[in-house]
Homo-oligomer: A and B are copies of this chain.
Amino acid sequence: MSQVPLSQISASQISASQVAPPSNFRTDDDARSTRELIIAESLRCFAEAGYNGTSLNDIAAGVGIRRPSLLHHFASKEALYGEVFERLLADWLERLEVAVADQALGWAKVELVLNAGFRLFEDTPDYVRMMRREALDGGTHLGIDLAAVLRPLFDAASAYFDAQMDAGVFKRHNSRHLLITGYGAILTYFSDAAFIDGLIDDEALTKEHIAEHRDHVLSFFKSALID
């Protein structure tokens, strides 16, 4: 690092203007909060416009600081994106594992997990869109291999369905394809909300409409799995 050629340092750089003393200084308490503000705004922007469609200036402006100040808190754009994404994964895994760990069996457990998913997505719609973009790009945008992280959950769910089908609790389906179908059915409603708004008369992502869609997905899956 820092082996910048001396030739790049010009005299004009030294004569920086002292005209604008912004005075928007932050205390230590606020410092943590600035970091959080940046992460929150980044999530919003990355979900809305994607990685390439979001500039550090956009994020900085949303927070109310300049780009270099943002880069004081995060080493690079990729590092910032990575931190937002890691937080996404951690939040999701934590909340999903609570539902997965539940001792319920049969349809009750499926309903439990689906409900947890809906609640989770309802709380974090920006996460959903960001995840969708990540899946579209192959899930390997950064160091994290999204599929590899979710694979254990996926395998466990698949085994659960297979066991319940063997036991005759559920009608027979291909469990892995069933999971892919389910994940697509649920995620799409949240990721494509802006598009779906144009297909229906109500507005998607309102509390009422989410509940409507959740009820539909639950009854639809129940209808396909239970006699």
Residues in chain A within 8 A of chain B (CB atoms): 49-53, 129, 132-140, 145-148, 150-151, 154, 171, 173-174, 176-178, 180-189, 191-192, 194-200, 212-213, 216-217, 219-221, 223-225
Whether B139 pairs with A132 at a CB distance below 8 angstroms is: no
Whether A221 pairs with B219 at a CB distance below 8 angstroms is: no
Residue of B nearest to A186 (CB): B184
- Tell me, in angstroms, the Cα distance from A138 to B195 when the chains sit together: 5
Residue of B nearest to A139 (CB): B195
- Tell me, in angstroms, the Cα distance from A51 to B129 when the chains sit together: 17
Nearest 10 CB-CB pairs, A to B?
A147-B198, A184-B188, A138-B194, A177-B216, A224-B224, A52-B52, A135-B195, A139-B195, A135-B192, A223-B224
- Tell me, in angstroms, the Cα distance from A134 to B30 when the chains sit together: 38
